[in-house]
Amino acid sequence: MIIDAEKTHSAHWGVFTARYDGRRLRVRPHPGDPDPSPVLDNIPSAVGHPARVAAPAVRRGWWERGPGRDPGRGRDGYRTVSWEAVLDRLAEETHRVRSTHGDEAVYGGSYGWASAGRFHHAQGQLHRFLAVTGGYTRSVNSYSGGAAEVLLPQILGGFDAVTRYAVTWDQVAAHTDTVLAFGGMALKNSGIAAGGVSRHVERGAMRAARDRGAMFVLVSPLRPDLPEEVDATWLPIRPGTDVALMLALMHTVVAEGRHDTDFLASHCDGWETLREYLFAAPAKDAAWASAITGIDASAIRELAWRIAYGRTLVTVAQSLQRAEHGEQPVWGGTALAAVLGQIGLPGGGFNYGLGSLGHYGRPRNAVPVPSFSRAPNPVNSFIPVARVADMLLHPGGTYDYDGAERTYPHVRMAWWAGGNPFHHHQDLRRLRRAVAELDTFAVHDPVWTATARHADVVLPSTMTIERDDIGATSSDALLVAMKQLVPVHGEARDDYDVLSALAHRLGHGEAFTEGRTAHEWLVHMYDRTRKALADRGEPAPDFEEFWERGELELPRRPDDGGVLARFRADPEGHPLPTPSGRVQVGSATIAGHGYDDCPGHPAWREPTEAPDERHPFWLVSNQPATRLHSQLDFGAHSSGSKRSGREVVRIHPDDAGPLGIADGDVVRLHNDRGATLAAARLTDDIRPGVLQLPTGAWWAPTADPERPELGDDGLCAHGNPNAVTRDRGSSRFAQGCTGQLCAVAVSRFDHPLPAVEVHRAPEAP
């Protein structure tokens, strides 16, 4: 590779250029990005970091004793082996599991955001490999949006169509009068987009709307969930009670005759059922909701008056459905927008996730972007992604999902690439017990995450900055030539090279590679886009020209409101793909499932876990501002935000004072599931009674001096909230994750502080 030449590259949090002088990598944002993400500052730290996996490693117990259930995972030492030896052994084990237990006994658990590149996409690579070599049990939905991904197609339409491509930021800037943001629209979240984001437009669009006179209303226990410059009206709601506020707003609007009866009659189904629920005892009025939400009844009535006039956009952040009964705020927001009659209007109606991800709220590209083709999976076995620990702990057990009773397969071997389940999943001590049930756990990882430290086989992967790729997404117009920036670390290999070698050992090499090298795949993938450009009469440079230029601007489709605008204009000619072809403010189909925790209309359900005398605080475990999930947690920007080497928990001064907690103190957050340490930051930007600890600090299990009976993993020394969160489905309907909220106690930690040593390779025993 050429040293000290400026090259283009892309990450999920932004396009950038970089220069490597042989020792240090320097990055700078793309010049066309009006509001670049500071998370880019994490990238240079990855070069040669002590946390890198330098060579293939195997857990000693698995290598010496063979596959099988083993509580030693996460506690055992590792030895380095050659690539040839580990690939031979892994191919033999894959064949053994499949021939003995069937193809569904292999779980393809890749879930993650390892690269913005469309070829070296770890999830796509692994799933293609497992499919062409025999098949596997897969996961469906995501940790981020599991409840909404099941619900929205049944009540509003295709998930991407009604979330990504209906309401855009340009529409908000030009048309919206009131933005009612449940859970907010935090810039730390919208700065991230799968496949990359070349222009961060969210701050500018919100500022333009505010300058035009739009009002922003933030419904959240956290004030920073909207940027300061929009001067939002803050309603610091009790966590998890948003649907009660939505119901009260609907009740007030209807009681005062300000609802759109024509729209409800012509475009909606199930309204009479919902209306009956709103007015049945106890009436879901402002006084009822005030007692639940902690918002004054007068403020609720005033808000109902405001949203009934002008152009109102109701948004629901992804965070709200990452909780028990998480389907309900998504359904409630949809129904509220329907009652107002604004679904399908420019900058009006309802949008799930606007502000939660950077690829929402942008027009779709007019041509397809390059993508790595997957192979059909011959096995039909799957689980909702957040139920992985249940699957491993209860093989053969039954569970409900989307109206059907399903059975957990007996998985003996799990593969993971490009993700960190010991970040994404909840109740990490339970997850550790779950992976102990496997015969074999194989992980591709560039760094020694907690997941790698629980694997039997650790295959060192290259990082995105060590390989060529193409950055692209259907909602960003810039196609990026992601050029290798630095030499490969140690013995790391591309996932494609590793899986090609394994596929050949299993007799399916040609099916996996189709005879192409990695570079030939890039050319092949790009050609799809080039041909589509040529067919439209657009400039269509060949691959070599594109690669030399470093980027290519793609044409966009018109910003016309998509399927919801067409449905609004002509509900008979452009029906929605729901059971009735209309907006389902009530659903006989969902009601027919008989789920008490997800009835046939938006409803308030009390949580089964809430603060009490033993655990008096709500803990909000939201996305971090300084990294993407747990990725590059050791980076300069991420590390610089920690205190005492630990993640920061935000506490209201009124809560901290009586507990003797001062700013900067290390505190212990705990419940019956475990405990985690964090550094306290006192702030009035949070509702009293609520603590906020972001996800993503690498799990650092150690003994808890206050609960030694829990063993060597009772406490996380680093501040990972999933040491205390619940591993429970959102409902029997969608089975999404519920990691956003749980109940905890907090106290100052007066014991000697345990060391945090997770950002380096494990020591040999």
Give me the active site residues, please: 111, 113
- Rounded-to-integer distance, Cα 97 and Cα 442, Å: 13
Q: Around Cβ 50, how many Cβ atoms within 10 Å?
A: 11
Tell me the one-letter amino acid at 755: A
| DSSP label at residue 78 | E
- Of 255, 223, 220, 224, the C-alpha closest to 239 is 220
Instruction: List, edge to edge, every strand of the sheet that includes 7-11.
Output: 7-11, 14-20, 25-29
- Rounded-to-integer distance, Cα 238 and Cα 219, Å: 9
β partners of residue 481: 470
β partners of residue 235: 219
Phi, psi at residue 613, to the nearest 5°? -65, -35
Q: 439-464 in b/e burial notation, b at 16+ Cβ within 10 A?
A: bbbbbbbbbbbbbbbbbbbbbbbbbb
Return all residues near 252 (Cβ < 8 A) that are at least 6 apart.
285, 286, 300, 301, 304
DSSP 265-308: HHHEESHHHHHHHHHSSSP--HHHHHHHH---HHHHHHHHHHHT
- Rounded-to-integer distance, Cα 690 and Cα 704, Å: 24
- Rounded-to-integer distance, Cα 383 and Cα 87, Å: 28
Cα→Cα distances 565→260, 402, 500, 556, Å = 17, 28, 46, 18
Number of residues in the chain? 765
- Rounded-to-integer distance, Cα 407 and Cα 355, Å: 36
- Rounded-to-integer distance, Cα 443 and Cα 627, Å: 22
DSSP 619-688: EE----SSSBTTBTTTSHHHHHT-BTTB-EEEE-HHHHGGGT--TT-EEEEEETTEEEEEEEEE-SSB-T
CA 291 to chain centre: 32
- Rounded-to-integer distance, Cα 466 and Cα 483, Å: 8
- Rounded-to-integer distance, Cα 550 and Cα 462, Å: 21
Cα→Cα distances 73→48, 385, 420, 433, 435, Å = 26, 21, 15, 9, 8
- Rounded-to-integer distance, Cα 124 and Cα 348, Å: 36
- Rounded-to-integer distance, Cα 470 and Cα 529, Å: 12
Phi, psi at residue 727, to the nearest 5°? -100, 80
Q: What residue has token string 């409840």?
A: 147
- Asked whether 103 and 379 are in contact (CB, 8 A), the reply is yes
Sign, Cα dihedral of 460, 719, 322, 226: negative
- Asked whether 52 and 759 are in contact (CB, 8 A), the reply is no
